[in-house]
Amino acid sequence: MHWADHTAQTLKERGESQVCASGITPSGEFHIGHIREILSAEMIHRACLDIGLKSKYIFIVDSMDPLRRVYDFLSPSYQKYIGVPLAFIPAPDSNGEPDKKRGSYAEYFLNPFLTSLERIGVIPEIVMNHEVYAQGKFASKIDIAINKKEEIREIIENISGRELPVDWFPYSPIGSDGSMDGVKVTKYEKPYVYWIDKNGVEGISDINKAEGKLPWRIDWAARWGIHNITSEPAGKDHGSAGGSYDTGIPICRLLGSEPPKKMVYEWIQIKGMGPMSSSKGVTIGPVEALELVPPQILRYIIARSKVNRHIDFDTGDTLFEMADEYERLLSESINVRDEEMTRRQRIAKETNNGALRLSQIKRGDNPKDSWAGVSFRHLALLAQIKNDDDDVWKSLQKSGHIEDKPAKILQVRLERMRNWINGPHFPEDSKIKIQKELSTLASENITSHQIKFIYNLKNKFIICEWDENVINNQIRDSAKEVDLKIKDAYLALYWLLINKNKGPKIAAIISELQRNDIIKIFETVF
């Protein structure tokens, strides 16, 4: 059973109505790493609907969170907004300067991300946290938290192992300058919190309004009850032992509500660079990735992996592997019959079918409708060798991948593939530039023994059938005839044809080129 389906079955024990949630702080540009939390929650929501439960998916925007520092993409002018809720800060202009005409800081970074989410089939109910505070929905939770502050202090200190300041208070009022930094509470008389800020100004905040907020650990626990959340996956920073999930569960109960069952997901990492981080500039944006591969593939990357396993991601080889795996599973679901499978294979198929089902843009879409019938690697090969799209289609017709005109899904895929090839993210090992003559580098790396092999192969190529499998067999036979190791035979051809020591299948490359052109390149060696 797929992990989302298993979670849905577990949630069914809690009741017939579910609320799945995820949240985000709109402090900067969003990246693929954020999508794991969002898609994990959204896939659980879909799985709940698929077994007949009532379910909704909400996306909570932490717009009441303060600006914590002046990020690299902001001008020093933002220093005055440190500690101010993101909903009340102006958005930056192209120079990083505050610009009130662009709306709020929170909306500026949120809106493009929501557009990306829609493209991958995620259309949640948006909850702006500052509006929930302004509507007074946090008021009862704030009142309980203040009256039970010593019990909450004990929970946080005992579970997290950190000691809170003597003057700690479970509510942060907004001071006279709009910032929550340096504001000290002096008294509480429901519904008012009295305070003095760092400028010596005294004031009052009404807990029924967005004039302050709960600290994160309490805010998170409170919203579980406010929105009746039954499932909210969280990253391992919050889910680790002593983290905000562990403190949130007893605090939620103290505030009068039942918390969701703890569910922790691992991070998405960029290969060789560690977890994605907006503040460190280690990111790949969702819009950027959607220009390269179909949205089903981005969903599949999340759907295929259990939530407790980290995902190594890059816009090169990993995308190739995931996209080809997706196509392979679709092909198997179409072409392999259950009676031909072992029990273990049938179980794997059920799990894979769950991943394919949850990878579709629209719930209920048939995964088979997204099958292009051509592997990404093969399409990448054709897109580089053939500049004209019609030549790509002719090649696919000849090889039997398509019968007539290409389907719309394949046309869009080729368009994305050309974007990928011509952009900065295409894997170097997969790049192809066919040589017209023996290069200096190739001349230095091809031995006299390999030249004998090339000469022998040239004679076979003059008369053999021009088919990938036949060509591959001719390469192997020619190598054996001159007593050359197969890997050295392939190496010689890579150097000769693409001026590198490795690349896509060399027989596939040769089969897509004209016979006469290959013969001419071979003859430059002798």
Regarding whether 423 and 282 lie in a shared domain, the answer is: yes
Domain of residue 474, CATH code: 1.10.10.350
Tokens of 330: 């679709």
Residue 510 belongs to a domain: yes
Regarding whether 395 and 285 lie in a shared domain, the answer is: yes
Regarding whether 392 and 312 lie in a shared domain, the answer is: yes
Domain of residue 313, CATH code: 1.10.10.770
pLDDT of residue 314: 74
Length in residues, the chain = 526
Closest CA to 89 of 111, 59, 64, 114: 64
Residue 169 belongs to a domain: no
Tokens of 502: 């490795």
Closest CA to 439 of 492, 385, 495: 495
Residue 102 belongs to a domain: no
From residue 307, alpha-carbon distances to 38, 39, 50 in Å are 12, 11, 20
**Three-state secondary structure call for residue 56:** strand
Regarding whether 291 and 326 lie in a shared domain, the answer is: yes
**Three-state secondary structure call for residue 43:** helix
Q: Report the predicted TM-score, pTM, of the whole model to 2 decimal places.
A: 0.88
Regarding whether 448 and 348 lie in a shared domain, the answer is: no
Number of domains in the chain: 2
Give me the torsion for CA of 341, 343, 348, 353, rounded to 10°.
70
Residue 457 belongs to a domain: yes
pLDDT of residue 34: 82
pLDDT of residue 32: 76
CA atoms of 179 and 199, how far apart (whole Å): 11
Tokens of 491: 């190496």
CA atoms of 220 and 40, how far apart (whole Å): 18
Regarding whether 448 and 406 lie in a shared domain, the answer is: no
Tell me 513's DSSP state.
S
Regarding whether 472 and 421 lie in a shared domain, the answer is: no
Domain of residue 302, residue span = 278-428
Residue that is last in its domain, among 428, 456, 488 = 428
Residue 253 belongs to a domain: no
pLDDT of residue 273: 46
Regarding whether 467 and 348 lie in a shared domain, the answer is: no
CA atoms of 511 and 504, how far apart (whole Å): 12
- C-alpha angle 290/115/304, rounded to 5°? 50
Residue that is last in its domain, among 401, 428, 455 = 428
- C-alpha angle 7/11/12, rounded to 5°? 120
Regarding whether 412 and 282 lie in a shared domain, the answer is: yes
| Residue type for position 276 | M
Regarding whether 478 and 423 lie in a shared domain, the answer is: no
Regarding whether 383 and 310 lie in a shared domain, the answer is: yes
Residue ranges, the chain, pLDDT below 70: 270-288, 336-340
Residue that is last in its domain, among 371, 401, 428 = 428
Per DSSP, what are the bridge partners of residue 185? 195
pLDDT of residue 311: 85
